Structure 1
């Protein structure tokens, strides 16, 4: 346990004693819903006396423990000092139905809103976002924390061109090395090491099972697979998120041994290892007069990655290494930024698709405005 994780626990115990009750409507003017999920909801608000815009995050008391609420609040308040991390504003209180804290408001939505399906984002925009997320994750990891929920919906935009983004939603954050039950779920963001827990869903959904009793509880507990929380989880999610940003799709439907697209990628990674057991794909193919020999020596690229340059392939294979212990760190990924990621032919195709989707989007927005009577 690092000094930061110890301090966080102390802050939670202290703030629990000073948390006060407030009437939200007395102090804040609620403007609109910014987002909602299993945790609760986030509302855009303005402080009535100061006129300061902020985001109020509401957690239902019936489904949220006081300690988990205070942990997320204090983590965001004291440790999210990096410019690409969403920070709490020092306002925390409770009502009869909710725990609430205030945080910085990102007024331009989240990354999910700007990723065009099957098209993605412009390459330079994508690299800007990746650079900022690398810094944000490196900051958390240096303090001994792992985010564990990196996805487009948790990357918030401070401007429309993604020049400044903030990683948020720290409800899943755990200290590095913490032992937690491993969970496998059908998603490309799920790490390959989590597949050992596949098929053990009954140990999670058994809360609603009619067969109660101490013996059943013991058996269910034994079925759980426990794992250590490691930063490599964030590296994997960053790799998948980057692929989604630049292509508008996912590299595979799920990270599983029966998913053909993932298996193709896994085979590519295994064959691309050099003698030192490090990935060796950031090299140009050797020129030879024998085309048969050249084809034999060159590692066949996984189909979903043929649109990328060797530089980008190395970036992805570093963060998306199937073996967690060899997975690259976010700060290491910075060395792959700045160069071309997409091959020229694919870049031209995506640019044409973006123009088409941009035109369709403008027509759709006009129709929406007309439907609301806005001129």
Structure 2
């Protein structure tokens, strides 16, 4: 699959390079406003003058962008992003004297970052709705042989104000699964733990440079696997639920990550001990088991508001060992249940009230039956 995906994308890039046209943006588009900008370039909301269609124009500076990287992102978005929650290119690409440009579907309501309230997050129902869409979108991308590598709130675009329809975009770092790449560590909770050794390499390189030592430091190379996206989805779930990040950086230098890793290792040992154990459904249910586990080994303080159900999902996605990390489809197994402790408590309260009402009805029904029997005997 990886080889096929890579070959097909290369062929599309070769063909599109032959038909690249040079245009003056203002002659064909009415530029409305800036939607976003970053190290890649900028995105402008524009209207096609002949068609009257609103679209996002993505501008890549030619001085800092290779033609192949531009064409790779354009063709991947155009030909492979067919899922409704993936941002798709519109078949318009061209160059100007200073930019490479292509048109894509516009997220008219901003990105997901703007919908997250700091230190509060989003409503739980909205979080589950967003994650169910992203689960399908990322699974689709993986099935075609690609890993996104840059899942974060700023790259998820809103098609309405209520987050009922979101689209994952920005495929500049996407590559075929299995591609060998230099491991790059960066200061972010979205950075996977398997590249932590690259941090030491960067420090050693910086140290040698400062000391005037020109001896090169050997790079660390990794295979780009789909589990990179799983980690990012786990961090994203936490971010949406709490409005914070679980840790500043995914290394043992970070005390919050260190606490999580220690807790996770303890959980892993417990799971090993329980292999082969069996409990009947009459003895306990799945939720009860999760609650018992959470009481026996409470998660680190930054996870205290998250329910046992959601913690089990996060354990799947935020597994420090990439080969044991769950895929994006795991998210679908956890939808519908409470992801926050306060939601779980509210559901329990409602269930207890419903049980009380049912008991009253049953008890009342018993009295009525007894009265009916007494009446029959009197007759």
TM-score computed with the length of structure 2 as normaliser: 0.82
Within the candidate set 280, 284, 288, 1:284 is matched to 288
1:224 Cα deviation after fit:
1.1
Q: Shift in Å at residue 6 of structure 1?
A: 1.2
Q: Is the 8 A contact 1:190 1:255 kept in 2?
A: yes
Matched, 1:227 2:243: no
Distance 1:297 1:56, change over 3 A: closer
Contact 1:31–1:44 (Cα < 8 Å) also in 2? yes
1:275 aligned to which of 272, 276, 285: 272
Q: Secondary structure at the match of 2:178?
A: coil
Whether contact under 8 Å (1:61, 1:97) holds in the other structure is: yes
**Residues 285, 176 of structure 1: CA spacing in aligned structure 2 closer, same or farther, 3 A cutoff?**
closer
**Residue 92, structure 1, aligned to residue 84, structure 2:** no
CA deviations over 1:263-322 (Å, ceiling 9, x no partner): 1111211111212798x99652599xxxxxx89981222222221221111011110011
* Alignment map for 1:163-174 (pairs within 5 Å): 163-174=164-175
Correspondence for 1:142: 143
Evaluate the alpha carbon distance shift between residue 14 and residue 243 of structure 1 in structure 2; reply closer, same or farther with a 3 A threshold.
same
Residues 35 and 306 of structure 1, relative CA distance in 2, 3 Å threshold: same
2:185 — aligned with what?
184
| Post-superposition CA distance 1:160-210 (Å, at most 9, x none) | 00000000000000111111111112211111111011132268879x989
Instruction: Tell me: CA distance 1:277–1:142, structure 2 relative to 1, closer, same or farther (3 Å).
Output: farther
Asked whether the 8 Å contact 1:282–1:310 carries over to 2, the reply is no
* 2:319 equivalent in structure 1: 321
In 2, Cα distance between the equivalents of 1:51 and 1:162?
A: 26
Runs of 5+ in structure 1 lacking a partner? 288-293, 349-375
CA 1:196–1:202: 2 relative to 1, 3 Å? closer
**Which residue is 1:114 aligned to?**
115
Residue of structure 2 in register with 1:355 after alignment:
none
d(CA) in 2 for partners of 1:209, 1:229: 31
Matched residue, 2:367: none
CA distance in 2, matches of 1:241, 1:30: 32
Q: Does the CA-based 8 Å contact 1:232-1:325 persist in structure 2? A: yes
Which among 244, 248, 266 is matched to residue 239 of structure 2?
244
2:369: which partner in 1?
none
1:333 matched to 2:331? The reply is yes
Secondary structure in structure 1 of the residue aligned to 2:81 = coil
Q: CA deviation at 1:122?
A: 0.2
Q: Which protein is richer in helix relative to its size?
A: 2
SS of residue in 2 equivalent to 1:90? strand
Q: Which has the larger radius of gyration?
A: 2
Question: Residue 34 of structure 1 contacts residue 109 of structure 1 at CA under 8 Å; is this kept in 2?
Answer: yes
Distance 1:295 1:18, change over 3 A: closer
In structure 2, do the counterparts of structure 1 residues 296 and 230 end up closer, same or farther at CA, with 3 Å as the change threshold?
closer
**8 Å Cα contact 2:290/2:308 also seen in 1:** no
Contact 2:147/2:224 (<8 A) preserved: yes
Supply the distance in 2 between the matched residues of 1:328 and 1:127 (Cα, whole angstroms). 17
Cα distance in 2 between the residues matched to 1:296 and 1:126: 22
How many residues are aligned here? 334
Structure 2: stretches of 5+ with no match in the other structure = 278-284, 347-379
Does 133-142 or 264-273 show the bigger shift?
A: 264-273
Per the alignment, residue 6 of structure 1 pairs with 7
Counterpart secondary structure, 1:42: strand
Query: Does 1:261 find its partner at 2:256?
Result: yes
How large is the RMSD of aligned CA atoms in angstroms? Answer: 2.6
Shift of 1:2: 3.6
Alpha-carbon distance, 1:252 to partner: 1.1
Q: C-alpha separation between the residues in 1 aligned to 2:90 and 2:196?
A: 39
Matched, 1:124 2:121: no
The 1:174/1:131 distance shift into structure 2, 3 A limit, reads same
Q: 2:308 aligns with which of 298, 307, 310?
A: 310
Aligned to 2:340: 342
Change (3 A) 1:11 1:277: farther
